[in-house]
């Protein structure tokens, strides 16, 4: 059974009791993890804490019997048992498909429930196809948060902390949030701790005091300089990151995220959506939109698709080479910066 977007979120908060296994997947792995946590909390309810077994691809590939042993085990104390798996794709799709099939054949076949969290899964993914086809499994396809959803999340977190926030400060905070849910959650938690007991609404000055660290700003500067066509600035930012010990592979993934955001922007513009900049994740504020449009003009969709392919190739090359990926990443970013510069 496939559920997408808001339907998937609603299911996670109140799962169908007939469903014994859930696959939560999203391009934002933090969002998949958050949703998985919601499913787990709903399964447990107000009862005693569940007995949770954590597994991953490597553990199951090393010992395939581990999966079914964990699913069939029964808690000695009678507590609910949940097997929680984080997978990177189809590495263990065959074993999980077998588990889905067994669960469909016999009601209450296993002593534990199964929760699987994954990143992006294409329609041709064996794991996704098996989960969608199974009658007692829910496949939850989750999409990146919209700005309005994030604002609601921030307000709720502050409400629980007994605090409020000015409208302009809220917009600024959401606009500065990292693109991945886990990182964003960390920033929201930091804001809530700061606001607790403050005795007034959070202001723009408070948000600026808690803004991204210098290192995060340097990562953003490196990405911006690369895609805007400023090779000198890109190299300077890369030097600063290298001196700070920032891994090249992390910068590569930040670049990948921004390329995907640009592809999203192209799609929204092509569809004629009103205020497409505010629907991006994170949003591009109106004052910054003209320069962002100029960047998009340098990088049409076909070109961005090739950039994604180059990023995947660079990551594979870095992994095969072992050790530091800095040289591979620097070479790619220099090439992209020169290409953007020439596109002027």
Residue 178 pLDDT: 60
**Can you say whether residue 323 is alpha, beta or left, with left for phi > 0 and alpha for psi between -120 and 50 degrees?**
left
pLDDT tens-digit profile of 168-182?
A: 888 878 776 665 666
Number of H helices, E strands in the chain: 16, 6
Measured CA to CA in angstroms, residue 34 lies from 13, 185, 190, 197 at distances of: 11, 9, 17, 27
CA atoms in the 13 A half-sphere facing the CB of 290: 1
Q: Which range among 140-149, 170-179, 305-314 has the greatest average pLDDT? A: 305-314
Is the CB of residue 158 less than 8 Å from the CB of residue 202? yes
Q: Name beta bridge partners: 115.
A: 22, 84
In angstroms, the CA 273 to CA 276 distance is: 6
pTM for this model (two decimals): 0.53
Q: Is the pLDDT of residue 17 over 60?
A: yes
Peptide bond into 282 cis (omega under 30): yes
Residue 230 pLDDT: 92
CB 130: neighbour CB atoms within 10 A? 21
Q: How confident is the model at residue 147 (pLDDT cuts 50, 70, 90)?
A: low
Residue 330 pLDDT: 85
Superfamily of domain 2-141: P-loop containing nucleotide triphosphate hydrolases (3.40.50.300)
The mean-pLDDT minimum among 212-216, 248-252, 265-269, 329-333 falls in 212-216
Is the CB of residue 212 less than 8 Å from the CB of residue 176? yes
In angstroms, the CA 178 to CA 188 distance is: 10
**Domain spanning 214-342, CATH class:** mainly alpha
CA atoms in the 13 A half-sphere facing the CB of 122: 1
Is the CB of residue 96 less than 8 Å from the CB of residue 64? no
Q: Considering the chain, tell me which residue range(s) the CATH 1.20.272.10 domain(s) occupy.
A: 214-342
Q: Considering the chain, tell me which residue range(s) the CATH 3.40.50.300 domain(s) occupy.
A: 2-141
Is the CB of residue 17 less than 8 Å from the CB of residue 132? no
Residue 116 pLDDT: 95
In angstroms, the CA 313 to CA 324 distance is: 16
Q: Is the pLDDT of residue 324 over 60?
A: no
Q: Name beta bridge partners: 7.
A: none
Strands (E), the chain: 2-4, 21-25, 51-56, 81-87, 112-118, 137-141
Q: How high is the mean pLDDT of the chain? A: 85
Q: Is the pLDDT of residue 54 over 60?
A: yes
């Amino acid at each position: 059974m496939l559920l997408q977007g808001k339907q998937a979120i609603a299911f996670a908060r109140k799962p169908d009791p007939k469903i014994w296994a859930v696959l939560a997947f999203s391009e934002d792995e933090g969002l998949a993890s958050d949703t998985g946590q919601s499913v787990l909390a709903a399964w447990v309810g107000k009862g005693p804490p569940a007995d949770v077994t954590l597994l991953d691809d490597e553990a199951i590939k090393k010992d395939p019997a581990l999966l079914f042993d964990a699913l069939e085990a029964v808690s000695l104390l009678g507590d609910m048992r949940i097997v929680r798996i984080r997978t990177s794709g189809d590495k263990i799709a065959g074993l999980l498909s077998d588990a889905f099939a067994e669960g469909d054949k016999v009601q209450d076949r296993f002593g534990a429930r199964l929760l699987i969290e994954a990143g992006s899964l294409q329609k041709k993914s064996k794991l996704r196809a098996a989960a969608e086809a199974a009658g007692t499994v829910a496949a939850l396809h989750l999409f990146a948060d919209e700005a309005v959803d994030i604002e609601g999340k921030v307000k709720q977190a502050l409400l629980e902390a007994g605090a409020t926030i000015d409208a302009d400060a809220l917009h600024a905070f959401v606009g500065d949030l990292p693109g991945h849910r886990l990182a964003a959650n960390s920033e929201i938690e930091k804001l809530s701790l700061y606001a607790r007991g403050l005795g007034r609404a959070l202001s723009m000055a408070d948000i600026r005091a808690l803004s991204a660290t210098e290192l995060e700003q340097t990562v953003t500067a490196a990405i911006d300089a690369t895609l805007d066509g400023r090779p000198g600035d890109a190299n300077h930012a890369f030097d600063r990151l290298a001196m700070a010990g920032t891994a090249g592979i992390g910068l590569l993934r930040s670049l990948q995220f921004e390329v995907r955001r640009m592809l999203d922007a192209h799609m929204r513009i092509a569809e004629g959506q009103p205020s497409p900049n505010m629907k991006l994740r994170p949003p591009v504020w109106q004052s910054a939109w003209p320069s962002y449009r100029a960047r998009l003009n340098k990088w049409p969709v076909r070109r961005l698709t090739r950039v994604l392919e180059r990023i995947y190739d660079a990551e594979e090359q870095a992994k095969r080479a072992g050790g530091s990926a800095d040289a591979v990443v620097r070479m790619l970013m220099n090439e992209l910066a020169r290409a953007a510069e020439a596109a002027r």
